[in-house]
Structure formats: structure tokens, C-alpha cells
Amino acid sequence: MINFLRGKVHELTPAYAILDINGIGYYVGISLQTSQKLSQGSEAFLYTQQIFREDAQLLFGFSTLTEKEVFNLLISVNGVGAVSALILLSSLDIPDIASAVLNNQSVVLQKVKGIGAKTAERIIVDLRDKMLKYSDVNEASLNNVVDNKIKEEALSALEVLGISRKMSEKIADKIIKSDPEINIETLVKQILKSI
């Protein structure tokens, strides 16, 4: 079982990283939160979780032990796979996930792509007692879900126009930071002006 990896980031995307460790490239699935803490060409340390399936051996990486723990809690819920767990961790901060679970706010979890009403309810029922320790890791707002949804839709629209996601993502982050209430149309227009 691979417990952690330390190596140079050979390739980096919002969904995965390839770590070069002594000339061997390890493909590691990551969340957006972990992706933002890594930089291509730099040394990185990731806690890892291996998942063995009949058709594949998967490796997931996390910048913090807390993120790995929450990932393992999420995949312990029937109907939540590794990809859904990563999308949840990419869309919501850990305290927000904990808060949604503890306060029975299934609607918050349902805003995350791929999480339906039944799955959200199952997460709440299964993890209510286990999420208490993560509820005050730091105070973060539930607006992140909305921000991410608007950003994702804007980036998808720009990709259709032939503009690379990598180029538009950083610009989108800056614009959303300065105007959290921005709508998709305005965001797309502002990104196009900035390119």
C-alpha cells in the first residue's frame, strides 16, 4: 500500500497530477484544492489512497491528512465513488461539507455535480457522527459551491469558443474574487476582454 509520495510535479491539471519519483511517473487523482497547492516542476508531497478495482488500480493524492480522511469517509458511503468524492472535495471546503452534513442541508450537497437527493441524504445519515471533528477546521462560506458552478459553466462556454481552460481559469479566479456576485455572462465577457 502506497501511503504517500514525494517527487517533482511533472504534469498538473485541476483533476490529476503526474509525480516523477526517481524516473517513474505516478498518475494521482487530486481535488481542485490540492491542485491549487501544487506547481508544475516543483517538489510535492502528497498523502495517498490506493483503490483496487477489478479493472484498475487507482491512486489518489491529498495535500493534507484531513482531506484524505474526509475522502475515505465519503467513499465509505454507498453510492459515492472516488470520482464523486473528489468532485465534492473540489466544490466544497471540508468545513462546508461537515456543516452541510451536521445541519442536514442536503440541498448544499446536491449543488455538487453528480450528487443527487438520495446520495446527499445517504451521506448525511452515514456521516453525521463522523463529521463533527471537521466542522471547525476553518470558517468558510457555502458560497464556494455557487462560485465554482458559475466558474465551471463560464470555462466550459469559453472552451466551446476555442479558448484553453488553463488560460481562462486564472483570470476567472481573479474576477470572481473581486466580484463574488458576478453572473456567467458577465464573467465570460470579462475573461474575453482580459485575454
Residues 32-66 pLDDT 10s: 999 999 999 999 999 999 999 888 889 999 999 99
Taking residues 96-113, report their average pLDDT: 91
Which pLDDT belongs to residue 147?
56
This prediction has a pTM of 0.68
Q: Where are the domains of the chain?
A: 4-62, 65-132, 139-193
Taking residues 137-145, report their average pLDDT: 45
Largest separation between any pair of C-alpha atoms in the chain: 48
- Name the one residue in this structure whose C-alpha cell is 466558474: 151
How far from chain centre, in Å, is Cα 79? 18
Query: If you count them, how many residues does the chain have?
Result: 195
CATH no. for 139-193? 1.10.8
Where does the pLDDT of residue 136 fall: very low under 50, low under 70, confident under 90, or very high at 90 and above? low
How far from chain centre, in Å, is Cα 107? 18
Residues 6+ apart with CB under 8 A from 7: 19, 20, 21, 22, 26, 43, 44
Q: Which residue has the higher pLDDT, 134 or 32?
A: 32
Which pLDDT belongs to residue 141?
42
- Name the one residue in this structure whose C-alpha cell is 465551471: 152
Report how far residue 183's alpha carbon sits from residue 32's, in angstroms, rounded to the nearest whole number: 21
Mean pLDDT for the chain? 87
Contact present, 35 and 13 (Cβ < 8 Å): yes
- State residue 24 phi and psi, 5-degree precision: -110, 130
CA distances from 83 to 31, 89, 162, 179 (A): 9, 10, 26, 30
Residue 142 has pLDDT above 50, yes or no: no
Q: Which three cell numbers stand for residue 91?
A: 466544490
65-132: CATH topology: DNA polymerase; domain 1 (1.10.150)
Which pLDDT belongs to residue 16?
95
Report how far residue 87's alpha carbon sits from residue 45's, in angstroms, rounded to the nearest whole number: 21
For residue 79, what is the enclosing H or E element? Answer: none
* Domain with residues 4-62, CATH architecture: Beta Barrel (2.40)
pLDDT tens figures, 3-28? 999 999 999 999 999 999 999 999 99
Which is nearest to 169 in space by CA: 11, 35, 9?
Answer: 35
Residue 121 has pLDDT above 60, yes or no: yes
Which pLDDT belongs to residue 72?
96
